[in-house]
Amino acid sequence: MKVLIIGSGGREHALVWKIAQNPKVEKLYCAPGNGGISELAECVPIGSEEIDRLLDFARKEKIDLTVTGPEAPLTLGIVDRFEEAGLPIFGPRKEAAILEGSKQFTKDFLKRHDIPTAAYGCFQDAQTAIDYIREQGAPIVVKADGLAAGKGVFVAQSVEEAVAAVRTVMEEKKFGNAGKTVVVEECLVGEEASFMVFSDGKTVVPMVSSQDHKQVFDGDTGPNTGGMGAYSPAPVIRGRTAEIMEKIMIPTIRGMADEGRPFQGVLYAGLMMTDTGPQVLEFNVRFGDPEAQPILFRLKTDLIEIMEATREKRLHECRIEWSEDAAVCVVLASGGYPGTYEKGKVITGLSNLPATPDLFVFHAGTQNKGGNILTAGGRVLGVTASGHDLATALGRAYDAVHRIDFPGKHFRTDIGQKGLNRNNH
């Protein structure tokens, strides 16, 4: 079986690593891939949004299954294009991927289907948005409507900050067309968690819970990033899976089917666990990054088997098993990320790590040049480890973090701390 993975980050390395474990897979390709992925798959120099070229490649190589890692190709309709060409692909079609492609669509959808989420307003005009903010007061959240690589969300502590965020998105057009519309939301109080499911359009199967760390610095301070680390399970969700499934995930999948937008693939809900119950902050239509790393570390069932069952609408036949162990991913980033940072720094220490099944370093922004692994992105590596409990997994991950080095290396030292605090109470 020949498999093509689309994307170049840590999540894609985790997908390649997991899929490579299937004995039926004789050839793995990744477009465009990265320095670490090249050890497990053949990297093909095609960008993840070059849909025509990807389609030609999959046709020419007779690819048996294509898996899309990032959101952009899904919102651009890659699944529709591949399916129309008779090529098997895993992920939602364009009309379902709008759950991530447009925050306005999602907020209106949640309201229509009575799914719990923050009160909000949507605006195409900066002044109207600013008037609404002045009326509501702060803290308040400002979001660019479209895709902004996890960076288009501003949690403003003051009215001035919120007004500045609107100007950044709508007038300075920092996120281009993604900021034509802004969504302004009440600021929910609670703890954030990530909840992902597999769905074939009817059946909805939960994955184990996880928690991401979005801000760049310890103590959840500094600007938002694509994610500085994640761990699974998330104690904040302990005992709440049934409630999240009943109030949020099942009604979403059912609502999308009712609206003629059947959802097949991975649906990810960013949730705020509030005193009144879980509320939806956002949806993603693919595996989270870095949540995919610890979650795929814990997945015991073969991933290809699950993806084929999802595509063929027989997910109800699939028994999905998970390891009882905890798993954690600590992201090593370039100094300056999520702002400007330098590339091309030599990474040392990777070859000194213990070769054990409870530790793996997923590459995100790297390239292999003349036998050296160099930094090539904001998030560089995702050091992932498992253990019988969260403390053990964290100990293993941070031990490896300290053995790896590159100029400007930056990481958070408090990944999983909220989970440890909950476990100790």
DSSP, res 167:
I
What value does the mean pLDDT take over residues 208-215? 94
What value does the mean pLDDT take over residues 273-300? 96
348 in the same domain as 296: yes
Q: How far apart are CA 420 and CA 400, in angstroms?
A: 20
What value does the mean pLDDT take over residues 148-177? 85
Is the pLDDT at 151 greater than 80, yes or no? no
227 in the same domain as 201: yes
343, part of any domain: yes
98, part of any domain: no
Q: Which domain CATH number covers 48?
A: 3.40.50.20
Of the pLDDT bands very low, low, confident and very high (cuts 50, 70, 90), residue 422 is confident
Averaged pLDDT score across all residues of the chain? 94
What value does the mean pLDDT take over residues 296-318? 97
352, part of any domain: yes
Q: Which domain CATH number covers 136?
A: 3.30.1490.20
Cβ within 8 Å of residue 232, ≥6 positions away: 208, 209, 210, 211, 291, 294, 295, 297, 298, 326, 327, 328
Q: Which domain CATH number covers 400?
A: 3.30.470.20
Measured distance between the N- and C-terminal CA atoms of the chain, rounded to whole angstroms: 48
CA 86 to chain centre: 28
112, part of any domain: no
244 in the same domain as 355: yes
171 in the same domain as 239: no
What value does the mean pLDDT take over residues 142-167? 85
**Domain-terminating residue out of 25, 59, 93:** 93
Range of the domain at 172: 119-186
Q: pLDDT per residue over 222-277, tens digit each? A: 988 889 999 999 999 999 999 999 999 999 999 999 999 999 999 999 999 999 99
Is the pLDDT at 148 greater than 90, yes or no? no
What is the reported pLDDT for 39? 93
**Domain-terminating residue out of 57, 77, 93:** 93
82 in the same domain as 171: no
114, part of any domain: no
107, part of any domain: no
178, part of any domain: yes
Is the pLDDT at 171 greater than 80, yes or no? yes
What are the helix (H) ranges across 147-249?
A: 159-166, 241-244
Is the pLDDT at 327 greater than 70, yes or no? yes
Is the pLDDT at 104 greater than 80, yes or no? yes
365, part of any domain: yes
What is the reported pLDDT for 406? 98
305 in the same domain as 162: no
Q: pLDDT per residue over 377-394, tens digit each? A: 999 999 999 999 999 999
89 in the same domain as 139: no
32: β partners: 7
Number of domains in the chain: 3
What is the reported pLDDT for 174? 83
281 in the same domain as 134: no
What is the reported pLDDT for 165? 92
What is the reported pLDDT for 172? 85
Instruction: Assign 189 to helix, strand or coil.
Output: coil
Query: To 5 degrees, how large is the angle CA 236–CA 379–CA 99?
Result: 55
181 in the same domain as 195: no
pTM value is 0.94
254 in the same domain as 179: no
361 in the same domain as 237: yes
Give the number of other CB atoms < 10 A from CB of residue 315: 23
Of the pLDDT bands very low, low, confident and very high (cuts 50, 70, 90), residue 211 is very high
164 in the same domain as 31: no
